[in-house]
Amino acid sequence: MFFNRRIPLFIRESYYYDSATAVIWGIFWGTSVAFFPVIARKMGASNFQMALLSMAPFIGSLFTLYWSRLSSNTNEMHFFLFIKFLARIVLLLMCLAVNPFIFIFVVFLNSLFEQAGSPAYVGIIKQIYPEEYRGRAMGYVRVEQAISAIFACWIGGILLDHYNYQYIFPLSALLGIFSLNYFRKIKIKNYKTLKRNSQKRNIFPGEILEVFQKDKRFLFYSVAFFCWGFGNLLALPLYPIFLVDNLKLSNTLIGKLSSLSSFMWIISYFFWGRLIDKKGPINSLLLCILISSFIPLFYARAYNIWPIILASIFSGFNVGGGELSRISFITRISTQKEVQKYWGIDYTLMGVRGIIAPLVGINLMKFLGIKIAFISSFGVILLGFILMVMFNLYYHSRRKSS
């Protein structure tokens, strides 16, 4: 949309529809998903329920290997649109979410179906954007998404302070459904060839070991990425608890923090998209991990809102680094035939750590206090950084020798 002239003509149409989808999705996200943890805590959700809420997106990730094979054996676009439609239509049930249990159940359903569409999305992105423009195109799309999210978060916080979430969230879900109308217009020219070459067999967790034995680069990357992700997710359920219980922030103020973070997305996707194209995904990921280590430290030192503002800035700036580096690396090392399998394995491992880490974080808070839990998160992220440095040396040595 806004950056059409920066995109080559032969991919501009796909980019336009991808970016239009992202802009509307940003409004949907900023008026609903961004506030799920905060609203849950204010409804009276227990610490364990907050951990469950943090785990919700990752439960769906555990089934990514299945979704990956299912989507690769059918029309990827049709599968993506259908599963995303299910994800957003279940949010209409928010009008019935009168207690934390029902609220979290609805979020679980939404997260399950949202994650199911991820392998198909990566497969589509690999087809519509060539490698030399992929990082830049995805960056521009996310910038436009961030622009809409800035205003949506601001407005969303104000609306939720004046109106019931049982009205706001279902209305927001309708926007999420409407955004799919643009994405369906993207043309995938080589779909029939890919379909003929796909293998129609079930996928089993044992394939993870097969891929790791075949591709040691992916194994070493996965170990380092798992450690970093575990450290991030350790603190994930603690952030809304800290904002609501310790700092007692209003929805409006939390919305402003989300708007600030969304504003940093704009800088983030410009920066990381270009950095990945120039320096490669692993070098970019190293910087991303280092920056992310400061976020739990800011919370650990927060006695007022100012360190949280810094954490929001760092968090928003880092969004593009993790997402774009991850997609870029996996699409580079995998063939078109294998890309969904690699992505499925990556997301399955994300599901594993996403289920374990929030529970570990909640228990650390229970027995050692929330500040120590934040510091523990920092320590695990730092270990992930060290492992990724080691992998970077291995990765570049292998590229030089090949």
Half-sphere exposure (CA, 13 Å, Cβ side) for 283? 9
Q: What is the CATH number of the domain that holds 293?
A: 1.20.1250.20
| Dist. CA 96–CA 102, nearest whole Å | 8
Is the backbone of residue 335 left (phi > 0), alpha (psi -120 to 50) or beta? beta
**Domain-located, residue 317:** yes
Total residues found in the chain within this entry:
402
Triad 363, 234, 268: Cα angle to 5°: 155
**Domain-located, residue 191:** no
Tokens of 134: 């992929």
**Domain-located, residue 166:** yes
Q: Distance from CA of residue 314 to its chain's centroid?
A: 16
| Dist. CA 285–CA 296, nearest whole Å | 18
**Number of structural domains the chain divides into:** 1
Residue 350 has pLDDT above 60, yes or no: yes
Q: Please state the pTM of the whole predicted model.
A: 0.78
**Domain-located, residue 190:** no
Q: What is the per-residue pLDDT for 20? A: 92
In this prediction, residue 67 has a pLDDT band, given cuts at 50, 70 and 90, of: confident
Phi and psi, residue 31, nearest 5°? -105, 5
| Dist. CA 146–CA 151, nearest whole Å | 9
In this prediction, residue 200 has a pLDDT band, given cuts at 50, 70 and 90, of: very low
| Dist. CA 149–CA 199, nearest whole Å | 39
**Domain-located, residue 275:** yes
Residue 205 has pLDDT above 70, yes or no: no
Q: What is the pLDDT of residues 372-389, one digit of tens each?
A: 999 999 999 999 999 999
Q: What is the pLDDT of residues 244-270, one digit of tens each?
A: 999 999 999 999 998 998 888 788 877
Which residues span the domain enclosing 351?
7-183+204-401
**Domain-located, residue 93:** yes
Q: What is the pLDDT of residues 302-338, one digit of tens each?
A: 999 999 999 999 999 998 788 888 888 888 888 767 7
Ranges 27-36, 124-133, 178-187, 298-307: which has the least confidence: 124-133
**Domain-located, residue 192:** no
- Distances in Å between the Cα of 225 and the Cα atoms of 245, 267, 356 are 31, 24, 15
**Domain-located, residue 189:** no
For residue 148, give the nearest of 110, 118, 175 by alpha carbon: 175
